[in-house]
Structure 1
Amino acid sequence: MKKNTFKNIAKLSVLSTACVASIMIFGGEKAHAHGFVEKPASRAYIGNMAAQQNWNDAFKMYGQSINNPQGIETDKGFPFAGPLDGQIASGDGKVGDFMLDKQTEDMWVKNNMTGGTNAFTWKYTTAHATTKWHYYITKKDWNPNDKLERSDLELIGTVNHDGSTADKNLTHYIDVPKDRSGYHVILAVWDVADTPNAFYQAIDVNLQNDGIPEEDTEAPTKVENLAQTHATTTSISLTWNESTDNTNVKEYKIFRNGQQIGKTATTNFVDEGLTSNTAYKYTVQAVDFAGNTSESSDTLTAKTLEIPAEDTEKPTSPGHLHSMGETSDSVNLMWNKSSDNVKVSQYHVYRDGKKIASTDKTSFTDTGLAAYTTYDYYIVAEDTSGNKSEASNHIQVTTQISNPENEWKAGTFTNPILYTAGTTVSHNGKEYIVVITHQNYGDTTWAPGANGNSLFKVK
């Protein structure tokens, strides 16, 4: 097997601190760009770091992902749905091109890795409500010189989540196989709970396995300090101390009245759909990656609230309002759900201080807007008794520049314009074909026909 084209990943890794700066310098934080695997460094993140040394060379190899390593987002449902075969690494090219789908055995920088339990750490620019993360690795007989397909991959780990934001679960411990060596690709997938999308991260690794793994028979320690943190008329929120293990704890099983009702990789859980004014008994067990299970925690008795004769308690404020994306005439908003002692019935959406809509969902698309215009948004929750929450955080969102006649325009730092290879633009009375996919952040020297500009050619 040939050596890597880029040999010194260690030198690149020291630039991790500069990554946030690179996102701003080369791309700005895009509304649809929300997470990447920081350690071991994903293919897209390595490209982002490489751009700090030589932007042109990095762009030629990694494409638009150097601007937006956290933006490889497309449909969830993998492996049954999601990106097409051959377009898995780029997430169907949603980041702007398909450069990450190129595949040879010596093309990509590789992370040295030993089989067994390995930590995978995500960096979130927007920590969505999350259903799960799942991890795949290429099979023993995969072809490293062919584009990545579903049939090349097998599942090696799933980290289920409770629907809360992803930043509560930064690092996952995944059992990487010890029965293969050399170059392999690990695919990390982050499923968002309240959108149809997921984020895809290809991680190139050089597996260094020798010997047969020893059998792990040691169980995690008993879960301690199981406690109730919150209750409503229909839910109980639980928390506990982290269990320890000779390797790592994979998940926790939650039991209600002796029956398992769920599991989570975190040390908290919300049991919903309960009866008001009712007591329930809970226990929790820890499970490691070998399947060893701890003894049960001490039993906790927790009780839901009684439905009040008169409900005067307002819901909590909607959290983490953010934009999922903008066009020239629309903004796609999303926020975290509020909680209430009884039930949240709806959310009111405010634009520039005026209510424009109400919805029972935690997302809303505002349409019919003016191009390249900044709007201020916030959300207020209301419960079934009409009590209203405090306002959410305010956000200012600017719609994109309108370019209906394909006339070339320079974008701006906060609203770059994407020019896709093969499309046609006009400028100064001439038509040009885009040669290289790129985004313009306001640089007029990148205009078609500019001296030395190879991004366009005359049609």
Structure 2
Amino acid sequence: MRKKIGSAVIGLGVALLSVIATGSAQSHGYTTLPMSRQALCAKGTVTNCGDIQYEPQSVEGPKGFPAAGPADGTICAGGNSRFAQLDDPRSGQWPATKVTGGQSYSFTWTFTASHATTDFRYYLTNSSYDPTKPLTRANLNTTPFLIVPYNGTRPGTTAVHQGTIPSGKTGKQLIVAVWTIADTSNAFYSCADVQF
């Protein structure tokens, strides 16, 4: 009887450790201002999002963007096929945050786990961008309009980065925010549709 109880306790302990390890591996961060596609899915503003509605913080992919990182057409999902709904342009119908070129803006991330951070980089689409087609590097200005260095420090539960929305844009555009992790080979990706 004692052996059975001992085995059950060990089994429960292993199961609990697996759940804890899995939960922390899936917890990271995403942008909430401007509202990212994954945040819109998590809030239920956009439906038919698949797993991303439960894990908006988990869009993790290879770092080194734009020279490396996710393949064209998979940038918003971080190259993760499990979150492919984020790369679906939905005929250009993703809800967009209204912005004005030249305005000061508080770019905001929400985190569920903190990591040693290299930096945060923000990119904006160029004049070739078509919101009805999946995003490629050719549709982006590959020079970030905002870089926030962290030099290995960790953000708290939220981070707010003050920057300026680039001027000279019209219509619907896309901001790609990249959180580069210092001590892994990955980064987190967050795409936010904006309307100028």
- TM bucket, shorter chain: 0.7 to 0.9
Q: Which residue of 2 aligns with 1:165?
A: 154
Is 1:78 matched with 2:65?
yes
Instruction: Give how far 1:168 is off.
Output: 8.4
Superposed CA deviations along residues 128-149 of structure 1, whole A, max 9, x for unmatched, are: 1100000001102312221100
Is 1:114 matched with 2:100?
yes
Instruction: Give how far 1:122 is off.
Output: 0.6
Specify the code of the residue in structure 2 equivalent to 1:194.
D
Q: Which residue of 2 aligns with 1:90?
A: 77
TM, length-normalised to structure 2: 0.81
Task: For residue 137 of structure 1, give the secondary structure of its aligned residue in structure 2.
Answer: strand
Q: Which residue of 1 aligns with 2:184?
A: 195
Task: For residue 156 of structure 2, give the secondary structure of its aligned residue in structure 1.
Answer: helix
Q: Which residue of 2 aligns with 1:40?
A: 34
Is 1:69 matched with 2:63?
no
Specify the code of the residue in structure 1 equivalent to 2:37.
R
Q: Distance in 2 between matches of 1:49 and 1:104?
A: 18
Is 1:49 matched with 2:43?
yes
Larger Rg: 1
Specify the code of the residue in structure 2 equivalent to 1:129.
A
Q: Which has the higher helix share?
A: 2
Is 1:103 matched with 2:89?
yes
Q: Which residue of 2 aligns with 1:141?
A: 128
Q: Distance in 1 between matches of 2:117 and 2:147?
A: 13
Is 1:181 matched with 2:170?
yes
Q: Which residue of 2 aligns with 1:451?
A: none
Instruction: Give how far 1:189 is off.
Output: 0.2
Q: Distance in 1 between matches of 2:105 and 2:23?
A: 29
Specify the code of the residue in structure 1 equivalent to 2:89.
Q
Q: Distance in 2 between matches of 1:206 and 1:185?
A: 9
Q: 1:162 to 1:97 in 2, by over 3 A?
A: closer
Instruction: Give how far 1:127 is off.
Output: 1.2
Q: Distance in 2 between matches of 1:29 and 1:119?
A: 29
Specify the code of the residue in structure 2 equivalent to 1:41.
M
Q: CA RMSD in A?
A: 1.9
Superposed CA deviations along residues 398-456 of structure 1, whole A, max 9, x for unmatched, are: xxxxxxxxxxxxxxxxxxxxxxxxxxxxxxxxxxxxxxxxxxxxxxxxxxxxxxxxxxx
Specify the code of the residue in structure 1 equivalent to 2:119.
K
Q: Distance in 1 between matches of 2:121 and 2:175?
A: 10
Task: For residue 162 of structure 2, give the secondary structure of its aligned residue in structure 1.
Answer: strand
Specify the code of the residue in structure 1 equivalent to 2:154.
T
Q: 1:151 to 1:84 in 2, by over 3 A?
A: same
Q: Distance in 2 between matches of 1:168 and 1:74?
A: 21
Q: Distance in 2 between matches of 1:151 and 1:120?
A: 24
Q: Distance in 1 between matches of 2:128 and 2:27?
A: 34
Superposed CA deviations along residues 362-395 of structure 1, whole A, max 9, x for unmatched, are: xxxxxxxxxxxxxxxxxxxxxxxxxxxxxxxxxx
- Segment of structure 1 superposing worse, 73-82 or 33-42: 33-42
Q: Which residue of 2 aligns with 1:368?
A: none
Task: For residue 94 of structure 2, give the secondary structure of its aligned residue in structure 1.
Answer: coil
Query: Kindly, what percent of the aligned residue pairs are identical?
Result: 35
Q: Which residue of 2 aligns with 1:410?
A: none
Q: Is the 8 A contact 2:90 2:132 kept in 1?
A: yes
Task: For residue 166 of structure 1, give the secondary structure of its aligned residue in structure 2.
Answer: coil
Task: For residue 178 of structure 1, give the secondary structure of its aligned residue in structure 2.
Answer: coil
Instruction: Give how far 1:29 is off.
Output: 4.6
Specify the code of the residue in structure 2 equivalent to 1:107.
Q
Q: Is the 8 A contact 2:112 2:157 kept in 1?
A: no
Superposed CA deviations along residues 155-193 of structure 1, whole A, max 9, x for unmatched, are: 211111121112287111222112011100000000011
Superposed CA deviations along residues 21-49 of structure 1, whole A, max 9, x for unmatched, are: xxxxxxx9552320011122101001100
Q: 1:145 to 1:107 in 2, by over 3 A?
A: same
Q: Is the 8 A contact 2:30 2:56 kept in 1?
A: yes
Specify the code of the residue in structure 1 equivalent to 2:61.
T
Q: 1:149 to 1:82 in 2, by over 3 A?
A: same
Q: Is the 8 A contact 2:27 2:57 kept in 1?
A: yes
Q: Distance in 2 between matches of 1:50 and 1:106?
A: 18
